[in-house]
Amino acid sequence: MTVRAGRAQLTAEVSAWFVTPVAMVLGYFYFSAAAAVRFRIFDIAADYAAGLAAALLLLAVTLFWPVPQAHRKALLLLWLIRTGVALGPMLAYDMRYGLDAAMYFITGKALSQPLDSLAFGAGTQNVRAIVGLLSHVTESYNAMKVIFSYVGLIAVYLFYRAAVICLGQERIALLYILGLFPSFLVWTSILGKDPIVSLGIGLYCYGAAGVIMRHKMSMLVYVALGLLIASFIRVWLGVIFIAPLIGAYVLAGRSSTMTKIAFVLVALPAFLFAATGFSDRFNLETTEDLIQRTDTISGSWARGGSAQVIQGGFSSVGAMVAFLPVGSFTALFRPLPFEVPNAFGALAGVENLTILALFLAGLLRKGLRWITHPVLMWAVLVLLIWGSVYGFASYQNLGTAFRFRAQVAPILLLLSLYLCFGQYLAPIPGARGGRGRRAGLAPDANAS
């Protein structure tokens, strides 16, 4: 299989110019009325028109992004597609499942002093406060949802820029693939935590790629800013994402010992700060507190049609460790086909099976020697640590597992594509945007 920009662009053009208008028309006429009841929207047409106006305004803003022309064209197409998703199929989600979004919208608009609700790590409060601030600009739910979706588009581009740094050259097809990746497209097109968290993780990945591949300590600014944004919503993400960067840079980095020591001296305090914030957020002082809190949080997700209960819960560290392989696999690759019997479950099953197949095929093809490359080791550590933490909740609710995974979906997708099709993504000597083969991931030795 060849990753070709032309095919990816054609798919985006067809989706943007033909699928998007149909999706929006169907969404408006079939789902907007029922969604309006849930969100207490009294003038459906005016609210939807405001959403369209916001989408067009942001389309115009995209024209002025300081990016190459090829990127701008891709971003414009991807934005049209995201608009179609937000104002089309996501109305069906709003109608059927949009309880969180409705709560954010209704209670956020009611805040008289939204800034007073902001608190580091308090995700629900913070999203409500952001809605309260946006309500001074527009009271349209669809307009707010479009704004959140635009944040998701920025996250897509940041993940792509991180991939370019890692590869050492441009591969515009990857921008289209990331932008069209179903779970990331869907879950960053909602009014909720996911677009904001994805923005933070995208910034973090861009900075991490610069630190690992270019040894530029100045890129730690992006790492810090990204983790602040992500942790502002979910405080534990700071711990999850700092640890892999420290581990990969120290264990596999090719920089000097003094540079590694300097890096640790900068990164370790940030890790300790994040760990302290995590402990304070959940009142953790002892190992017993951690076990009890994990069991409580894990059990709280065992609800709904896609719930499955962990028999016996967690009563010891040993039980938690023994569960990690099953929990991590669930967080990263489930639900599989037919495990969740609804439209979103079907989408999740097909996507997860595809990613799992790519990942396993890549492992069979490349073995494990690739893991010694610093940036690949970093990606694996991110996925392992994230999966280990989120597995406790994801296992007990497969529907929510699919939504959670949007946080690391671009990393998992890019790693799987590299393992499976590395010969098509490897750097070309003298390629624009890189510094030859040494600027990016080494080409596959088995490539023909």
The average pLDDT across 396-415 equals 87
Quickly state the pLDDT bin for 436 (edges 50, 70, 90). Answer: very low
In what helix (H) or strand (E) does residue 316 lie, and over which residues does it extend?
none
Give me the count of residues in the chain: 448
List phi, psi (to 5°) of 67: -130, 165
Closest to 333 (Cα-Cα) out of 319, 346, 350: 350
Question: Residue 25 has which token pair?
Answer: 């028309």
Tens-digit pLDDT profile for residues 66-75: 999 999 999 9
**Average of per-residue pLDDT across 44-63:** 97
Asked if pLDDT for residue 375 goes beyond 80, the answer is: yes
Written as one string, the DSSP assignment of 2-42 is ---HHHHHHHHHHIIIIIHHHHHHHHHHHHHHHHHHHHT-S
Please, are residues 102 and 38 in contact by the beta-carbon 8 Å criterion?
yes
Tokens representing 120? Answer: 């580091």
Query: Per 3-state DSSP, what percentage of the chain is helix, strand, and coil (rounded to 5)?
Result: 75, 0, 25
Name which of 304, 316, 319, 329 is nearest 388 in CA terms: 329
Each residue's pLDDT tens digit, 226-284:
999 999 999 889 888 988 888 888 777 676 777 667 666 766 676 666 556 555 555 54
Q: What is the C-alpha to C-alpha distance for residues 151 and 79, in angstroms, rounded to an integer?
A: 11
136 Cβ contact partners less than 8 Å away, ≥ 6 residues apart: none
Q: What distance in Å separates the CA atoms of residue 180 and residue 78, rounded to the nearest whole number?
A: 7
Per-residue pLDDT of 156-167, as tens digits, reads: 999 999 999 999
Q: Which residues pair with 397 in a beta bridge?
A: 307
Question: What residues are paired with 41 via a beta bridge?
Answer: none
Lowest mean pLDDT among 48-52, 191-195, 431-435: 431-435
Q: What is the dihedral of CA 166, 168, 169, 171, to 10 degrees?
A: -20
Q: State residue 341's pLDDT score.
A: 79
Query: pLDDT band for position 135 (50/70/90)?
Result: very high
Q: Higher pLDDT residue, 335 or 398?
A: 335
The helix/strand/coil state of 255 is coil
Question: Domain residues of the chain, as ranges?
Answer: 1-191, 282-443
171: left (phi over 0), alpha (psi -120 to 50) or beta: beta
What average pLDDT score do residues 202-212 get?
95
Question: Which residue has tokens 């849930």?
Answer: 38
Reading the block at residue 427, the tokens are: 């750097």
* Separation CA 169–CA 3 (nearest Å): 14
What are the structure tokens assigned to 23, written together?
Answer: 């999706």
How far apart CA 443 and CA 448 sit, in angstroms, is 11
pLDDT score for 107? 95
Q: Rounded to an integer, what distance in angstroms lies between the CA atom of residue 68 and that of residue 156?
A: 16
Residue 397: phi and psi, rounded to 5, are -155, 95
Chain segment 83-101, per-residue pLDDT in tens: 999 999 999 989 988 779 9
CA distance 222 to 10: 33
**How do residues 195-205 score in pLDDT, each as one tens digit?**
999 999 999 99
DSSP-derived secondary structure for 124-151: HHHHHHHHHHHTTT---HHHHHHHHHHH
Question: Does the pLDDT value for residue 443 go beyond 50?
Answer: no
Determine what percent of the chain is predicted with pLDDT higher than 70: 79
Q: Is pLDDT of 286 > 90?
A: no
DSSP-derived letter for residue 67 is: S
Summary mean pLDDT of the chain = 83
- Identify which has the larger pLDDT, 300 or 228: 228
Answer whether residue 442 shows pLDDT above 60. no
The mean pLDDT of 421-438, rounded to a whole number, is 48
